[in-house]
Amino acid sequence: MAITHRRLLAATLVAGLTLLAAWTPARGAEPTPAPAVTAPNIIFVLVDDLAWNLVQYLPQVQRLQSEGVTFTNYTVTDSLCCPSRSSILTGQFPHDTGVFTNGGADGGFAVFKGRGNENRTFATALQAKGYRTGFLGKYLNGYLPADTQGGTLPYVPPGWSEWYVAGNGYSEYNYDLNENHAVVHYGSQPADYLTNVLSRKGKDFIQRSAAANTPFLLEVSTFAPHSPFTPANQDLEDFPGLTAPRTPAYDQLPTNPPSWLAGNAPLTTQEKSTLDTNFRKRAQSVQAVDRLIGNLRTQLTTSGIADNTYVVFSSDNGFHMGEYRLTGGKQTAFDTDVRVPLVVAGPGVVPGSQRAEIVQNIDLAPTFQRIGAADVGTHVDGRNLLPLAQGEVAPNWRTGALIEHHGPNQAADDPDAQDRRNGSPVTYEALRSAAYTYVEYSNGEREYYDRTVDPHQLNNIAAGLSTTRRAALHDALAAYVACHSHSACWTAGHVPA
């Protein structure tokens, strides 16, 4: 198909989706868009534990920003792998997926599957619309490649046409992949480096899908840059002397800190050295991710489908490294942990643009589904982001994000287990608007940061709020935690200014 023809078809689709988009909350499910002449493809690159401070080392992501839209107020529903990924797959908050941790009674793959979430992901919706769907890399904590889940073959969840997924792939070497129901072992040779393997498999998936003239969704979910921060061999000497950023929050406690944080002493010389080493390794480890993005986009061009493909880049959570006297970790409600990159390029997206609206990872599933002309059901808490990406005005957009976390998270078998030094907050819920962050802990403690004057969140002024203001914030947070439908969560997302 000629490129000009593809552009015409892509423009036709964009126009159709634009007419269908509405900014007022629906009472029920969003209507299914009319079928398009040619459905666009979607590539979603999801990285693990990548904070905003690593984007400067990712030229392919910067290129994506110049060609697409960056959402500057994008946050996750929980800065923890499995809850965040569950929200991404379903478009639902943790209180609706039931996944609040990486394992046990309230989290992990077993809970996600046991609650029927696998039957209502963006993959099942798009596959039903004729999409070829592929998943590469990291799925959910607790998933094991060889586990049959009671069947006769290694388990592949519903909705995925092709499946190349690891269990414990954090080391990048010596891991197993479930490759479409067959377990394949990869060793310790340079060619076995997991991020590079995912790159090769992603290019192959794109090439075959384009040759079959079949629309596709491909999620490439890397383990990088999660600890132990293992770079590819060719990147081991990169960024000599690089150190962790010394922001105003580095090695500082906020005023009136919550009790889980208050006891932390200043960082030691050894802790600072370790943070510097690990930050450098993180920057090194994302070089393979950057090449992966470049390789996938090159394959799109080679296959003649670049103009009809959305490319989406994001992270499942952020990562603090020295801020608030915490060594490396996540799970807090600070922006270091919950505010992460979301960059989208593709048909109709405004190049080099930024959107400051409050958006969350619950919005990815409905966006992917609407791109593919699939229905968005009443159970989905998120909203379609495509009109924002295409430059439309959104005067009635939500004004607050909801963050939900269960803690402390100290299970010995959890790759994300943290102690007081890393940061292990007790259970909390939080509101994050464009101006403030408000946190309620299960032990009754509160935090409130006015980020308009305190962007690094160093002055907790919760105790000084008026009774009226505290009540309004509490009621808004309670309503958000209690929402259970597309329209109810949209209404709850309009929080006090």
Known catalytic residues are 81
- DSSP letters, 28-67, are SSBPPPPPPSSPPEEEEEEESS--GGGGGG-HHHHHHHHH
Residues in the chain: 497
C-alpha 125/C-alpha 158 separation (Å) is: 10
Who's near 462: CB < 8 A, 6+ residues apart? 256, 438, 446, 447, 448, 470
DSSP bridge partners of 310? 42
Element (H, E) at 204: helix 194-211
- Contact of 121 with 366, CB cutoff 8 Å: no
Both structure tokens of 166: 């690891």
Which of 353, 343, 348 has its CA nearest to residue 311? 343
Cα 4 to the center of its chain, rounded Å: 33
DSSP bridge partners of 447? 439
Residue position matching structure tokens 């200043």: 266
Phi and psi, residue 441, nearest 5°: -95, 155
Phi and psi, residue 486, nearest 5°: -55, -50
The burial class, CB within 10 Å (0-12 / 13-18 / 19+), for 150 is: exposed
